[in-house]
């Protein structure tokens, strides 16, 4: 790990370098704060050990400049100071330093403080790695989320919308910012929200109270006044303790399926009517044939008579 050492006293500077080198760190020494700031800007520095009182630029000013820099990686800062008053130490933390060591310092104390800073940097690196994995997973999930034809959105326990997919936004004709954090279950004409507000809110309330999923199948009129049919699933999003944090609402438009089912039903009815007519005609034909058969028998019998 690269450690910047800013110390104007040559003896102290060499001693710090020796300690850090033994800990297998790469040391970049500076004789004053201004030189340290130049080195910091040109290198990926993860830790800074700086004296407070230095020429050109003091250690606290160096801390402020480091904290105001636009570098993504966090730098752990340890300030060396002979000042030991409480107000002085508060000032050290106020400028963004992470730790301090009172001069004259014990080499073992410096080693321990540096090791502690290294542990914190490793934790921060691990956090960033995990954050990157979570962001990547979230982005992949978002792609799937937005590609679904179902309208999907989530509400918190205050019934405010916290997420929504593109299908819902496109169908409502509004942007993400116009919908997010808006109250869901109220007559909001600006949103043209296409759900039976009372019934869906009642079902969402049950999910929050019981933690169990709910299902609705409803018919409503869209903005053009046409009848639409939807199946609505309300699913709980729970914490590790089982508390319901959000309710995800998944709505499927089954109007076409309903229309197809209705068309098939009508066709079946017409087919059944046709079958009934054929059956009736067959029965009538059988009666006619039976009548003809009886007539033929009578004719044959009459011909045999002398």
Number of domains comprising the chain: 2
- 147-151, 185-189, 226-230, 290-294: which range is least confident on average? 185-189
Q: Based on the domain organization, do 25 and 135 belong to the same domain?
A: yes
- For residue 86, CA distances in Å to 1, 77, 121, 212 come to 31, 19, 27, 56
Residues 78, 132, single domain; the answer is yes
How does DSSP classify residue 28? E
Pair (152, 218) in one structural domain: yes
Same domain, 6 and 123: yes
Does residue 305 lie in a domain region?
no
> Is residue 165 located within the same domain as residue 229?
yes
Flag whether 259 is in a domain. no
Of 18-22, 30-34, 103-107, 275-279, least confident by mean pLDDT is 275-279
The string of pLDDT tens digits covering residues 61-115 is 999 999 988 888 888 999 998 887 778 888 888 888 888 888 888 888 888 989 8
Residues 128 and 17 in one domain: yes
Split at pLDDT 50, 70, 90, the class of 190 is: very low
Token digits of residue 145: 């989320």
Residue 298 belongs to some domain of the structure: no
Please indicate, yes or no, whether residues 135 and 185 belong to a single structural domain of this protein: no
Question: Where is pLDDT greater, at 139 or 149?
Answer: 149
Would 10 be classed as within a structural domain?
yes
At residue 244's C-alpha, the angle toward residues 141 and 130, to 5°, is 40
Determine the structural domain holding residue 188 and report its residue range.
148-253
Across 29-43, 177-191, 244-258, the highest mean pLDDT is recorded for 29-43
Section 196-207 average pLDDT: 82
Classify strands 161-164 and 151-156 as parallel, antiparallel or unpaired: antiparallel
Of 84, 116, 140, the residue that ends a domain is 140
> Are 12 and 120 members of one domain?
yes
Could you tell me if residue 244 is inside a domain?
A: yes
Closest to 104 measured CA to CA, from 9, 168, 34: 9
Give the integer Cα–Cα distance in Å for 87 and 157.
45
Q: Are 96 and 67 in contact (CB under 8 A)?
A: yes
Tens-digit pLDDT profile for residues 217-258: 877 666 666 777 778 899 999 888 889 999 998 888 877 766
Question: 153 with 169: CB under 8 angstroms?
Answer: no
Judgement on whether residues 89 and 170 belong to the same structural domain of the protein? no
Tell me: do 135 and 152 sit in the same domain.
no
133 and 189 both lie in a single domain: no
- Give domain status of residue 260, yes or no: no
Residue 164 belongs to domain with CATH number: 3.30.450.20
Residue 274 within a domain: no
Position 97 in a domain: yes
CATH at 56: 3.40.50.2300
Mean pLDDT throughout 158-169?
Answer: 86
Residues 76 and 176 in one domain: no
For the entire predicted model, the pTM comes to 0.51
Specify the range with the lowest mean pLDDT, choosing from 72-81, 88-97, 138-147, 207-216: 138-147
- How does residue 48 score in pLDDT terms, banded at 50, 70 and 90? very high
């Amino acid at each position: 790990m690269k450690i910047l050492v800013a110390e104007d006293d040559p003896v102290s500077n060499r001693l710090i370098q020796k300690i850090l080198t033994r800990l297998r760190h790469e040391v970049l020494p500076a004789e004053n704060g201004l030189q340290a700031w130049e080195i910091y800007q040109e290198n990926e520095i993860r830790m800074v050990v700086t004296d407070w009182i230095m020429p050109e630029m003091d250690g606290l000013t160096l801390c402020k400049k480091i904290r105001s820099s636009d570098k993504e990686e966090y730098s752990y800062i340890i300030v060396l100071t002979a000042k030991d008053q409480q107000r002085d130490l508060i000032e050290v933390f106020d400028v963004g330093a992470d730790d301090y060591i009172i001069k004259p310092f014990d080499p073992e104390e410096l080693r321990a403080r540096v090791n502690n800073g290294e542990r914190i940097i490793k934790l921060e690196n691990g956090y960033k790695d995990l954050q990157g994995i979570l962001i990547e997973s979230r982005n992949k999930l978002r792609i799937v989320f937005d590609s679904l034809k179902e309208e999907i959105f989530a509400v918190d326990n205050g019934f405010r919308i916290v997420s929504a997919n593109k299908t819902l936004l496109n169908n409502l004709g509004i942007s993400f910012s116009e919908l997010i954090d808006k109250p869901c279950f109220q007559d909001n004409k600006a949103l043209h929200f296409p759900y039976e507000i009372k019934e869906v809110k009642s079902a969402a309330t049950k999910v929050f109270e019981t933690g169990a999923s709910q299902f609705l199948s409803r018919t409503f009129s869209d903005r053009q006044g046409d009848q639409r049919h939807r199946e609505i699933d309300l699913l709980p999003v729970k914490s590790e303790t089982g508390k319901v944090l959000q309710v995800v609402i998944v709505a499927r438009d089954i109007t076409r399926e309903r229309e197809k089912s209705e068309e098939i039903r009508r066709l079946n009815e017409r087919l059944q009517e046709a079958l009934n007519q054929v059956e009736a005609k067959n029965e009538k034909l059988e009666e006619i044939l039976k009548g003809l058969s009886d007539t033929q028998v009578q004719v044959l019998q009459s011909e045999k008579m002398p």
